[in-house]
Amino acid sequence: MPIQNEPTPEVSARSSTGGDGQSKSVMGAQTLERGLELLELASEEPMGIADLARRSGLSRSVAYRLVGALAGRGYLVGTADGRFRGGSKLLHLGHLAAAHTDLVSIARPHLEMLAAQAGLSAFLGRREGDHSVHLLRTPGTERIAVTTLPGTRRMLPETGMGKALLLDDDPAVWEKLIARADLHGQGHDWSQQMEVAVAAGVVLHFGPEPHLINSVAAPVRNASGAIVAAVNVAAAAQYLDASRMQDLQPLVANAAAAIGAELGAVPTVPGSARPRS
């Protein structure tokens, strides 16, 4: 919706030093920061000019001018009731950013930090249909290490990483996958364990005999809140018993959240993003 019938004065940010290059640079940076603040406010919640001015602390005339510039380039769009929200240009830039995002490169330093903090091998994986696929492994310092290689595929219900990738799925989906997976040695309360994991936002997986590989896993979310990957630490039970798993929950959750933050995710209360039937 175009803005009409209101003056558009210049932003007043004159410097006592005159119009030299430095003062122009400062003025330009201030204008950019003000425009970005308005863009963020309107993207979070549609607002009219008066509300945008109040929330940003700008005068109505300055807010009007900046909103007009943003709307003119498609970053904001007017609604029928006179408010402004994020425009098509934001959607386009978001699509381009997603297309050029290298998940492994983003996750690598966070995974390295996790492995160093936990002293255990750390992994990154994503979902492909009904399977998890390992993308990256960062070694820890344990003497007997889990060495699952990138490209390894497993049925989702069978591993901690796979369970983390399933946290948002409906229980009916869980049941279908359980019927096809090899859950020997994992007990008969798989769905109950998943409900606990949904509430915590972290999966504690106790592996079956003979290998007894335990893991702590957490989902990685993108800007829309969708699960796009998972991280975990995994080790033989002698290095990762129940007590140690409890201790590592926040480390794993923080690593997943840090990766998600670089993908645009907004922090959420554990379990709140999962749709309930």
Per residue in 198-224, pLDDT (tens digit) is 999 999 999 877 778 999 999 999 988
pTM of the model: 0.65
For 145-179, letters b (16+ CB in 10 Å) and e give bbebeeebebbbbbbbbbbbbbbbbeeeebeebbe
pLDDT of amino acid 274 = 47
Residue 188: pLDDT band with limits 50, 70, 90:
low
Give the CATH fold of the 21-97 domain: Arc Repressor Mutant, subunit A (1.10.10)
Nearest of 111, 208, 112, 219 to residue 163 by alpha carbon: 219
Residue 13: pLDDT band with limits 50, 70, 90:
very low
- For CA atoms 231, 237, 239, 243, give the dihedral sign: positive
pLDDT of amino acid 5 = 36
Instruction: Please determine, for residue 159, whether its predicted confidence score (pLDDT) is greater than 70.
Output: yes
Residues of the chain with CATH 3.30.450.40: 102-262
| CATH 3.30.450.40 holds for 102-262 | yes
Mean pLDDT, the chain, rounded, equals 84
Highest mean pLDDT among 34-38, 90-94, 117-121, 262-266: 117-121
Tell me the pLDDT tens digit for each residue of 137-149. 999 998 888 888 8
